[in-house]
Amino acid sequence: MKTENNSLWNLITIFAFVAISHGAQATQPVISTFETDLECWTVDRGQFGWSATQGDPGGCLLASNAPAPAYALAVAPAKFHGDWTSFNGRGTLSYSHKIFSIGGGTTFTFAPYLITISGPGGLATWTNGTPTSITEWTTVSAPITSSAWRLTSGSWSGLLSNVTNLLIQIEQVGNVPANAPADVSGIDNVMLIILATNAPLVSLDIEHAVQVSWSSETDHVYQVQWRSELNTNVWFNLASPVQVNGSTNTVCDSTEGRARRLYRLLTLH
């Protein structure tokens, strides 16, 4: 059925919010893009290594480990450690994840995406969404707010005051029997960043595509992301990161065959 432009407003619900750092008072983003090496990331079990070309884009961390029920965890380097207090309520920890192969065997047990942070002040775990097969690069995003995490020891404020261990589950598939061919997964674009909702949105226009525009600050790189459902924290990159090219920047996304999408804008650096 051909849809008139005006009725698209009835079919498409658009939300947009803008991420912009808070100037001199901002907590600096912490980012791993694995462009040249593993950036001191490790994986707690199984095989792991760096790929120069299979990332989102460029390099990424790859891991391969078959036995269930253990799921391999990527271990963040020291640059992600420290006082996360200023991220509380306005920060996000996100990463790109891809299942390249689910491996072999007779039973495949998929686990939800999982992040654990811990330190002298406590331990908390975040989970959301469970893949069911191989995936494309998928953005997984966890808000740094207490209601989104399961605190198993200590206090939220005490934990955030000194995070000494960040674990991101890289293996999403458990294989039985244990000697089955291993699954292969990757992680890229790990970002601990500030999200803010108070930056001005210049315009949001819909014709046959959604046009998302925003006011930009010089020397910043932006990434527009989208998701299709309101009740999931799985975000996808829309095109590549945008280096600012003026006071207003625009990214378009086709509406063809899409009932509803939610957009957001991140400041990468």
Site of interaction with Ca ion (CB under 5 A): 33-34, 55, 58-59, 188
Q: Which residue has the tokens 């600050």?
A: 217
Interatomic CA distance for residues 55 and 186, integer angstroms? 8
Residue 191 CB, nearest distance to Ca ion (Å)? 11
Kindly list the distances between the CA atom of residue 59 and the CA atoms of 165, 206, 245, in Å, as whole numbers in the listed order.
Answer: 23, 35, 26
**CB of 18 or CB of 238, closer to Ca ion:** 238
Classify the C-alpha dihedral 166-171-174-177 as positive or negative.
Answer: negative
Q: Maximum Cα–Cα distance for the chain, whole Å? A: 59
**CB of 50 or CB of 110, closer to Ca ion:** 50
CA angle 34, 38, 44 (to 5 degrees): 125
**CB of 171 or CB of 188, closer to Ca ion:** 188
Interatomic CA distance for residues 48 and 46, integer angstroms? 7
Interatomic CA distance for residues 33 and 55, integer angstroms? 8
Residue 55 CB, nearest distance to Ca ion (Å)? 3
Residue 39 CB, nearest distance to Ca ion (Å)? 10
Measured from each CB, the residue nearest to Ca ion is: 55
Residue 188 CB, nearest distance to Ca ion (Å)? 4
Residue 154 CB, nearest distance to Ca ion (Å)? 33
**CB of 58 or CB of 154, closer to Ca ion:** 58
Kindly list the distances between the CA atom of residue 144 and the CA atoms of 14, 100, 107, in Å, as whole numbers in the listed order.
Answer: 24, 28, 34
**CB of 237 or CB of 255, closer to Ca ion:** 237
Q: Are strands 173-176 and 248-254 parallel, antiparallel or unpaired?
A: unpaired
**CB of 77 or CB of 104, closer to Ca ion:** 77
Residue 216 CB, nearest distance to Ca ion (Å)? 23
